[in-house]
């Protein structure tokens, strides 16, 4: 388990806190209204723990050049509604206006700085931390704070001045959301309860293959079930002709390295076939209707949008007999009503099992939220790309920076009498 300090280990009363949050929300391109504010909702527990502190929030919304690249004024208004207390916004990041607002902020106050990606240093300085420390963002803001809190797990696979530039110049801790994500996902990739089952679906085969390779090669998982478009991709790797329309779609989703991904999939099947489950049957769309076919009926000229009943019957006892279940990616084109069945059934299995259940971000986590069953799974990750990167043992600069700051942060806070 990575060793990082958390909010519960620090006496927070009266501190001036620089808080890196994840305010990157989906925005309607026409109305400019938020389509989903769950990231703000999930940041609230950390901010409530900081009610006795002066909190200044840094965050980003989208990136320059995109239609949803906006300031954070509306985010501050919505956050105020969620927290039930005033949240100020300043149209500045580290200039005189921002510094004045930070200086005058009183304990209990919350201030949101403007979109951090409006500052060129945030876009351009993504390399070594020592260079990020020299950015205007870090140089100007650092002297005004007692503590740096990073709660932006959704960006934990990134590196920039606001994400990793403060951890060597300020005592640094993980926010509640960040700490929960680190603890839960670390179990999935370090010491999961056995039997351990990973269900990998969705559209992008390369992401799922990286996760599967990490778990299989380290002998951490007992079964990997491939579903959705990823399952179709694995059928191609296993020598099935699933029809041109389906093969082209699965390969396109794995671009730009589709051929390399296909070779990885073939090698995985050669080395770990006894621990891999592929679809046994599928559902295709014929004249706007659902039709189930077996693999013997392939190839098909119709699009494959779901797994079939036989596949789900095989999967159910595997999930029910597991001690730990990881699920990332839908089993079907669940936005189409006739083809939501496979995905909903996998969700039902994850809810009904007594196993530890970890939902791996993205569309799968959104589905868990939409169906109102968050309280019935062990952990519903907020991370998307960050979750997949961590599960595949990829580079996580934010977590690494918090681990590296652990010793000096602990010493500094202890010397000031701020450790609980």
pLDDT of residue 313: 98
Residues 124 and 77 both lie in one domain = yes
Residues 74 and 215 both lie in one domain = no
Strands 172-174 and 196-200 turn out to be unpaired
Say if 377 falls within a structural domain. Answer: no
First to last CA, the chain: 21
pLDDT of residue 222: 97
Indicate the number of domains in the chain: 2
Residues 171 and 200 both lie in one domain = no
pLDDT of residue 31: 85
Say if 388 falls within a structural domain. Answer: no
pLDDT of residue 382: 85
228: part of which helix (H) or strand (E)? helix 228-237
Say if 300 falls within a structural domain. Answer: yes
The mean pLDDT values, 10 residues at a time, for the chain of 420 residues are 93 98 89 88 96 98 92 97 97 98 97 98 90 96 98 96 97 97 94 96 91 96 97 98 97 93 97 98 97 97 97 98 96 92 96 95 85 93 88 94 97 96
pLDDT of residue 265: 97
Judge contact between 241 and 296, C-beta under 8 A. Answer: no
What does DSSP assign to residue 149? E
Q: What is the DSSP string of 17-72?
A: EEEE------B-TTT--BS--HHHHHHHHHHHHTTTSEEEEE---S-TTSTT---S
pLDDT of residue 385: 86
Residues 172 and 290 both lie in one domain = no
Say if 360 falls within a structural domain. Answer: no
CATH code, domain with 409:
3.40.50.1260
pLDDT of residue 23: 94
Residues 163 and 304 both lie in one domain = no
Residues 157 and 278 both lie in one domain = no
Residues 160 and 63 both lie in one domain = yes
Q: Of 354, 377, 405, at which residue does a domain stop?
A: 354
Judge contact between 52 and 107, C-beta under 8 A. Answer: yes
Measured between alpha carbons, how far is residue 294 from residues 75, 187, 189, 233, 290 in Å?
Answer: 49, 37, 34, 16, 13
Of the candidates 114, 22, 26, 39, the one whose C-alpha atom is nearest the C-alpha of residue 67 is 26
Residues 54 and 166 both lie in one domain = yes
Residues 221 and 253 both lie in one domain = yes
Residues 159 and 238 both lie in one domain = no
Q: Of 354, 381, 406, at which residue does a domain stop?
A: 354
Say if 382 falls within a structural domain. Answer: no
Q: Which two tokens stand for residue 70?
A: 């906006």
Residues 50 and 86 both lie in one domain = yes
Report how far residue 367's alpha carbon sits from residue 112's, in angstroms, rounded to the nearest whole number: 30
pLDDT of residue 82: 97
- Residue partners of 274: CB distance under 8 A and separation at least 6: none
Residues 133 and 207 both lie in one domain = no
Residue written as token pair 């196993």: 355
289 lies in which domain range? 194-354
Say if 387 falls within a structural domain. Answer: no
This prediction has a pTM of 0.88
Measured between alpha carbons, how far is residue 171 from residues 82, 113, 166, 402, 420 in Å?
Answer: 28, 20, 8, 10, 14
What does DSSP assign to residue 419? B
pLDDT of residue 151: 98
Say if 129 falls within a structural domain. Answer: yes
Q: Of 301, 333, 354, at which residue does a domain stop?
A: 354
pLDDT of residue 28: 85
Say if 364 falls within a structural domain. Answer: no
Report how far residue 374's alpha carbon sits from residue 202's, in angstroms, rounded to the nearest whole number: 20
């Amino acid at each position: 388990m990575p060793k990082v300090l958390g909010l519960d280990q620090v006496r927070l009363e009266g501190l001036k806190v620089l808080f890196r949050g994840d305010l990157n929300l989906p925005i309607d391109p026409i109305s400019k209204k938020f389509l989903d504010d769950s990231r703000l909702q999930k940041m609230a527990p950390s901010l409530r723990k900081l009610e006795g502190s002066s909190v200044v929030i840094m965050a980003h919304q989208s990136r320059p050049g995109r239609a949803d690249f906006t300031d954070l004024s509306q985010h501050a208004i919505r956050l105020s509604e969620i927290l039930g207390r005033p949240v100020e916004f300043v149209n500045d990041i580290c200039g005189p206006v921002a510094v004045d607002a930070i200086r005058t902020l009183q304990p209990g106050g919350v201030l949101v700085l403007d979109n951090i990606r409006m500052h060129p240093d945030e876009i351009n300085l993504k390399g070594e931390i020592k260079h990020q420390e020299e950015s205007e963002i870090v140089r100007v803001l650092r002297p005004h704070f007692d503590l740096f809190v990073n709660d932006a797990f959704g960006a934990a696979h990134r590196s920039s001045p606001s994400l990793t530039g403060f951890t060597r110049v300020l005592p640094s801790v993980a926010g509640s959301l960040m700490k929960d994500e680190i603890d839960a996902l670390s179990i999935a990739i370090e010491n999961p309860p056995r039997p351990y089952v990973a269900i990998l679906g969705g559209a992008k085969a390369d992401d799922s293959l990286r996760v599967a390779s990490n778990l299989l090669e380290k002998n951490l998982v007992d079964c990997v079930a491939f579903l959705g478009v990823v399952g179709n991709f694995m059928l191609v790797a296993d020598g099935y002709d699933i029809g041109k329309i389906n093969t082209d779609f699965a390969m396109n989703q794995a671009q730009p390295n589709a051929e390399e991904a296909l070779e990885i999939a073939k090698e995985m099947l050669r080395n770990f076939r006894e621990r891999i489950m592929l679809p046994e049957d599928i559902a295709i769309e014929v004249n706007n209707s659902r039709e189930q076919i077996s693999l013997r009926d392939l190839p098909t000229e119709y699009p494959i949008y779901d797994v079939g009943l036989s596949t789900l019957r095989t999967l159910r006892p595997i999930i029910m007999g597991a001690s730990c279940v990881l699920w990332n990616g839908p089993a079907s084109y669940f936005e189409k009503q006739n083809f939501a069945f496979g995905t909903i059934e996998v969700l039902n299995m994850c809810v009904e099992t007594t196993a530890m259940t970890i939902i791996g971000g993205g569309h799968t986590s959104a589905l868990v939220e939409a169906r109102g069953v968050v309280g019935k799974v062990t952990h519903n990750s907020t991370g998307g790309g960050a979750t997949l990167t961590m599960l595949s043992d990829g580079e996580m600069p934010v977590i690494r920076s918090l681990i590296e700051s652990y010793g000096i942060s602990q010493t500094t806070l202890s010397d000031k009498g701020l450790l609980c």
